[in-house]
Structure 1
Amino acid sequence: MVHFVGAGPGATDLITMRGHKYLSEADVIIYAGSLVNKELLSYAKEGAEIYNSAHMTLEEVVDVIQKAEKENKDTVRLHTGDPSIYGAIREQIDLLKALDIRYDVVPGVSSFFGAAASLSAEYTLPNVSQSVIITRMEGRTPVPERESIRSFAAHKSTMVLFLSSGLTEELSKELIAGGYEKETPVAVVYKATWPDEKIFRCTVQSLPQTMKDNNITKTALILVGNFLGDDYERSELYNPKFSHEFREGIK
């Protein structure tokens, strides 16, 4: 059996209880070493085989899993955050299906949730933004033209950018060209929830300089939007005049 486990954003106590259980029972652990907090490996049982996938190809990962299956061993494939976001799990799952190897997926706390918690921020504020765009800047790996930063920026919704810390010069230009005002607030959260987490606040226009001044080139989320400001409307859900299934509003 293979368990794809979301390790959470970084802090070792933010892995789910199910993820912790599978991790502590696994005979074989293949972890995304470039991003997963290695302190999580302290949950592994004595004698567990541990592999760092940062040094492996997809085929090499599957070879380790196949060997474990032949030896009747359980494997945990430990991914950063939640496996469904930039986790590259689909290609692994398809190969496991072809090999008739059983698997399941354990969700994790994504780093974009961890970043919001660190900022005490709410992505969806009434009359500010009711949508969250999760995307990345085009770099060595292409992005479909229909999903360009410029096209998304036209909505002026909350935007969360992964894998874009080293591309902020072009990112800033694309955000402005798409529709965000130059002074739209931005928060950069470096290693969200890790012990060495850092937070930098700036604007869309000043983002490249902020990254340069603080030598941030990777392992950071870039959050864009007016949800980082101070203006919003109160939620109707808790408005004393608003009626719903569980409470009659004041007339």
Structure 2
Amino acid sequence: MPHDWNRLLQTTTERLAGLVDDADPAAPVPGCPDWCAADLVEHVGGVYQWAAHVVRTGDPEVHPVPAPTDLGELPVWFRGHVEELVRVLTGTDPDQETWTFGRGRGTAGWWTRRQTLETTLHTFDLLDSQGRAGEWDVPAPLAWEAVREVVTLFYPRQLRMGRIDPLPGTLLLTPTDLDDEPVAVGDGRPVVELNAPAGELALLAYRRRTSDDPAAAALLALGLTP
């Protein structure tokens, strides 16, 4: 069944904005070791500004408005950029052509999907910073989209940009809570199988979790994503 990406963008960004309202901005973010929660929020707000600008103009060059130095104003700043992102993306024909990273030319709908998945992952990061990681409850089909994006977009982009070498093996990822076919990252030997719920596979692929399988952990540690 196709995803309603406009609806998912609205619900995921609204949840993250609500979490920002109550978050301790000074709390460290375990998945992003150099960041506190305020840094994470500024990053996501900047990405939202970039995505909205690209879809409006087709131009990838943008100078985001920085977060306020008064962290008490951070929730209002962030919610403003959430509202602008949702307004632009849901108000644009998803088939409208625009620039997309990694592909040169793509569509506005690509950005709606990308920002939904960006928000989904960073919602985990913000919850984790507040000691609430167990509240990250993402539907398996959406989590599996995040895994598939790693395979089809981020890992090839890491290779193309020379950030990593090809994996010295193949990761075969199978969601245990879906009927979908496994996906493979890499094409070397040995083949290392990871069978887990889609949400857990997403956290492993984005290095928010470490696999108990030493062979899988070694491959994942090489960096499938930026």
Q: Which has the larger radius of gyration?
A: 1
TM-score by length of structure 1 reads: 0.26
**Which has more strand, going by share of residues?**
1
* Higher relative contact order structure (alpha carbons within 8 Å, sequence separation ≥ 6): 1
What is the TM-score with the length of structure 2 in the denominator?
A: 0.28
